[in-house]
Amino acid sequence: MIRVLLADDENLIRTALATMLALEDDIEIVAQAESGEAAVDAATVHSPDVAVLDLQMGGIDGIETAGLVAAAVPSCAAIIVTSHGRPGYLKKALSAGVRGFLPKTTSAATLAEVVRTVHAGGRYVDPALAAEAIGAGDSPLTPREADVLEYAADGASIAEIAQRAHLTQGTTRNYLSAAAAKLGAANRHEACAVARRYGWI
């Protein structure tokens, strides 16, 4: 039996996935979690073979959760399911050691096959998401520019962004200007929108 942990903050989706996967003869749902933190706790207790994680949950996201689960249970393979198939997320997930990445529109039969594939040591990336990621290219932002832009995403003032990033206001303006220029954006708000669209922040 392949022991599976499911984590999704939407109860309906999580329970539907659990019900569908439990119909498979070789898959057992050993735990469900509604947040990344709860998923890490559940993984530590149940030692699943595969963790199926929603990309965007309250608290820590699926990619960070995958890293923490791998640290707690090194033998556990992670799969990300998402309704936000942005190229940057796919690249971050693969860099974090995630072995499967697929949209929530995937059929239950495909998800079950992906669970088997990653459990056997393989990888699976949805072909459409992979093609989009290749087409989008790599982020032009440095890690620090991306961080500062992310702090600006909620409409924060320069002073607030500088405080969050532990920078001077002048340095913060420089990072934001550089990021906007690289993304061809008129201002930091537009730059945030572009970077979000590609999953670079």
Each residue of 82-139: pLDDT tens digit?
886 667 788 888 888 999 999 988 999 999 999 999 999 999 999 988 887 776 667 8
DSSP 5: E
Contact indicator for 1, 26 with CB cutoff of 8 Å: yes
Mean pLDDT calculated for residue range 75-86: 87
Residue position matching structure tokens 């499967």: 100
pLDDT digits (tens, 9 = 90+) for 26-68: 999 999 999 999 999 999 999 999 999 999 887 788 999 999 9
> What contacts 107, CB < 8 A, 6 or more positions away?
none
pLDDT digits (tens, 9 = 90+) for 163-181: 988 899 999 999 999 999 9
Q: For residue 77, what pLDDT is reported? A: 97
Element (H, E) at 124: strand 124-125
> Looking at the predicted structure, is the pLDDT value of residue 150 above 80?
yes
What CATH code would you report for 2-134?
Answer: 3.40.50.2300
Outline which parts of the chain fall under CATH 3.40.50.2300. 2-134
How far is the C-alpha of 39 from the C-alpha of 53, rounded, in Å?
Answer: 8
Query: What pTM was estimated for this model as a whole?
Result: 0.73
* CATH number, domain 143-197, options 1.10.1060.10, 3.40.640.10, 1.10.10.10, 1.20.120.420: 1.10.10.10
CB burial readout 168-186, b (16+ within 10 A) else e: eeeebbebbebbbebbebe
How far is the C-alpha of 25 from the C-alpha of 67, rounded, in Å?
Answer: 28
Q: For residue 131, what pLDDT is reported? A: 81
> Looking at the predicted structure, is the pLDDT value of residue 153 above 90?
no
How far is CA 63 from each of CA 27, 46, 79, 82, 181, rounded to the nearest angstrom? Answer: 23, 20, 9, 11, 28
Outline which parts of the chain fall under CATH 1.10.10.10. 143-197
